[in-house]
Amino acid sequence: MTTATTVKTEYEAIIGLETHCQLSTNTKIFSNSSTAFGSDPNTNIDPVCMGLPGVLPVLNQKVLEYAVKAGLALNCQIAKYSKFDRKQYFYPDLPKNYQISQYDLPIAEHGWLEIELVDAEGNPIRKRIGITRLHMEEDAGKLVHAGSDRLSGSSYSLVDYNRAGIPLVEIVSEPDLRSGVEAAEYAEELRRIVRYLGVSDGNMEQGSLRCDVNISVRPVGRKEFGTKVEIKNMNSFSAIQRAIDYEIERQIAAIEAGDRIIQETRLWQEGAQCTSSMRVKEGSSDYRYFPEPDLAPIEVSNEQLEQWRSELPELPAQKRHHYESELGLSPYDARVLTEDRSIAEYFETAIASGANPKAAANWITQDIAAHLNKQKLTISQIGLTPTNLADIITRIETGKISNAQAKQKLPDLLSGISPEKAFAGLELITDPSVLEPIVDEVIAANPKEFEKYRNGNTNLKGFFVGQVLKKTDKRADPKLTNELVEKKLNA
């Protein structure tokens, strides 16, 4: 959960995001070429994505399914009838020199998602961000500029068409965001949702999720928007926040200096930590959209829509609310547990197997998470099953083993050794008649420490407890041992 921030009180930022999300289909949107990442350049291509004469596109059914599911998860209205359009815009890395997209009849419109922040006092804030539309389109290829030229910086360009025809959904938010923090949180929540659905891996470092930021500034109280500036192709959440914060300050400074803000596209310069002008922004009329003649319109039946709706999982926001209100977890624990669907399912299986929710949350978010981070593993790759985690927690709570013993054996448990084998012969000694003679023996063996204790150094109680635990190979029940040691020392 992120802390909310504000801009200078006399100005207000108006922010919207356009997010391009690559869908996790095996083949491209209009052809059967592979979508695998990292292949050699120009190996995942075919006549359709290369725009060769006489070829026709065919819509990948999985793309439509994933787009509809994403729209449903974002609370959108799914269009019963939609179509594809040609976007007449010169793409040097898209061989057709136009893009197949959706314009006036997108597959989904009028949705929302909820973001969670905290105010300066630490109180939770929930804010609903509107979704204007979600539509399907194809991606372009990739240009690689190389060589050295004194004026342009590169002497030649290479083109890789592997990405041409990769299926995308573009998700356009309403201008409901007011800060870089809110925008970054919106993008993070959007990524959580598409990952939960399984429709995208959301890997920003591979270009599977890219954000364009639209931002303007106006005096507080004015209804009209200021001139909009776009920041193109943001590929990390921290960069989104920093770019917006910089751009807000730049626009405010320009307004106060009497300069005119122009509608343009800017780029975020990570090294300089600033935005720079890329080009004057085009309007929709510059793209000269018209209906795509080679693709039939799309009609989604009520039966198909309800089938896809029934396949949606419980989403991260729903899980967070459930964990906090019904399981009594803190907002922090709920957020960590729901960050990844596989972790949430692991947690839920553990508590379904009898684990105390708070104890299970502590083990997963602390000890197990530390192991995953250190070994660079996912939770599905460890040998400790959620059922065995529940077994361990039950053993601790019933006094069969101590928390310290469980942590000591955790590496073995994570490797797949069962609790029965890991804790064989390590059951806690909980019988006072067994522990009392050991406590007496420890006190008798340490007369100097006993005398110091009786003279007021009560911190030495820990010393005697430690000696008892050592003598019993940590099998002595810690709580009972503390009680017996204190009773004997004060007798």
Say whether pLDDT at 140 is over 80. Answer: yes
Residues 194 and 336 in one domain: no
Nearest Cα to Cα of residue 390 among 336, 339, 347: 347
Same domain as 332, residue 271: no
Does residue 281 fall inside a structural domain? yes
CA distance 287 to 296: 21
Q: Are both 254 and 351 inside the same structural domain?
A: no
- Same domain flag for 85 and 206: yes
Query: Are 327 and 287 part of one and the same domain?
Result: no
State mean pLDDT over 267-283: 85
Average of per-residue pLDDT across 450-458: 89
Count: domains in the chain: 3
Query: Do residues 449 and 389 share a domain?
Result: no
Q: Which domain holds residue 467?
A: 432-489
Q: Is residue 356 part of a domain?
A: yes
CA distance to 73, 448, 454, 466, per residue, from 491 (Å): 66, 17, 10, 19
Percent of the chain whose pLDDT exceeds 70:
97
Q: Which of 422, 446, 465 is the last residue of a domain?
A: 422
The H-or-E segment that residue 233 falls in is strand 229-234
In b/e form, how buried is each residue of 160-175, taking b as 16+ CB within 10 angstroms? bbbbbbbbbbbbbbbb
Average pLDDT over residues 191-209: 95
Altogether, the residues listed in the chain come to a count of 491
Residue 471 domain-assigned (yes or no): yes
Answer whether residue 165 is part of any domain. Answer: yes
Where a domain ends, among 269, 304, 339?
Answer: 304
Average pLDDT of the residues of the chain: 92
pLDDT mean over 144-165: 84
Which residues, at least 6 apart from 95, have a Cβ–Cβ distance to it below 8 Å? 49, 50, 51, 52, 141, 161, 164
User: Which of 153, 178, 202, 160 has the alpha carbon at shortest distance from 20?
Assistant: 202
Q: What is the CATH number of the domain that holds 482?
A: 1.10.10.410
- 212-264 tens-digit pLDDT: 999 999 999 999 999 999 999 788 999 999 999 999 999 999 999 999 999 99
The predicted structure's pLDDT at residue 245: 95
Q: Does one domain contain both 196 and 289? A: yes
- Domain endpoint, select from 382, 401, 422: 422
pLDDT at residue 8, rounded to an integer: 57
Q: Are residues 276 and 183 in the same domain?
A: yes
Residue 195 lies in a domain: yes
Q: What is the pLDDT of residue 417?
A: 95
Element (DSSP H or E) covering residue 237 = helix 237-256
For residues 389 and 251, state if they share a domain. Answer: no
pLDDT higher than threshold 90 for residue 2: no
Is residue 197 over pLDDT 90?
A: yes
The answer on 389 and 447 residing in a single domain is: no
Q: pLDDT digits over 318-358, tens only?
A: 999 999 999 999 999 999 999 999 999 999 999 999 999 99
Residue 427 forms part of a structural domain: no
The answer to whether residue 9 scores a pLDDT higher than 80 is: no
Residue 466 lies in a domain: yes
Select from 331, 395, 387, 329 the least CA-distant residue to 362: 329
Query: Does 6 have pLDDT greater than 80?
Result: no
Question: Per-residue pLDDT tens for 127-138?
Answer: 999 999 999 999
Query: Would the pLDDT of 94 be above 60?
Result: yes
Let me know whether 84 and 193 are in one domain. Answer: yes
Q: Is residue 309 part of a domain?
A: no
Residue 234 and residue 293 in one domain: yes
Strands 142-146 and 99-101: unpaired
